[in-house]
Amino acid sequence: MNKQEQTKLSIITPFFNEEESIEKFLEKLKKVTLTLENYIFEYIFIDDGSTDRTLNKLISIKKNEPNIRIIEFSRNFGKEAALTAGIDLANSEAAILMDADLEHPPEIIVDMINLWNEGFDIVLAQREDRSDETFIKKQLANSFYKIFNKLSSTKIPPNVGDFRLMNKASIEAVRSMTERQRFMKGILSWV
């Protein structure tokens, strides 16, 4: 398929109690995606059991946005389950996983797509600044990844979260896994 002829991309966004940021997130996201004329986007939102009005806001927005798809969990199953549900629903040539809390800047999507067009199967976004985190959180995260990477043959890059673009083959590889208790950072690094 020629990537310059309206290629379909999915943006998969799990959320839990993002009432304060969901509209701003979607506004910033649309501002970026509307500039990408060669692409059609489907926005997949997964409500991980929110107890605030996030879901109601999204349902209201969806009335005027037919390319928004919403998955509603009956309770909080965790981000791993939400990402899995979004990946299972995605119907596109590539998918971008990102959070709704604006920790993942939508502006980076353009660079991710450009790298994908250059032939990369997976494009990771790496955090450069962790100054907003406490010393203890940084130390615990660093220790976890050092130990994990020492013990595992699958290496997880430092300062890389779930914000990434995955091509269709990578999406299919994740779909083929039958694990029920998933460690997505490990799975996504393995793929």
**What residue segments make up the domains of the chain, in order of their start?**
7-129+159-181
**How high is the mean pLDDT in each 10-residue block of the chain (191 residues)?**
75 96 96 96 97 97 96 93 94 96 94 97 77 73 69 66 90 82 56 56
Topology of the domain covering 7-129+159-181 = Spore Coat Polysaccharide Biosynthesis Protein SpsA; Chain A (3.90.550)
Q: What is the DSSP letter of 127?
A: -
For residue 109, give the nearest of 8, 57, 36 by alpha carbon: 36
pTM of the model: 0.81
Residue 88 to residues 10, 112, 146, 178, Cα–Cα distance (Å): 11, 21, 31, 12
In this predicted structure, what is the pLDDT of residue 136? 83
CB 95 within 8 A of CB 9: yes
Backbone angles phi, psi at 113, to 5 degrees: -65, -40
CB 14 within 8 A of CB 39: no
SS3 state at 181: coil
In this predicted structure, what is the pLDDT of residue 182? 56
In this predicted structure, what is the pLDDT of residue 1? 44
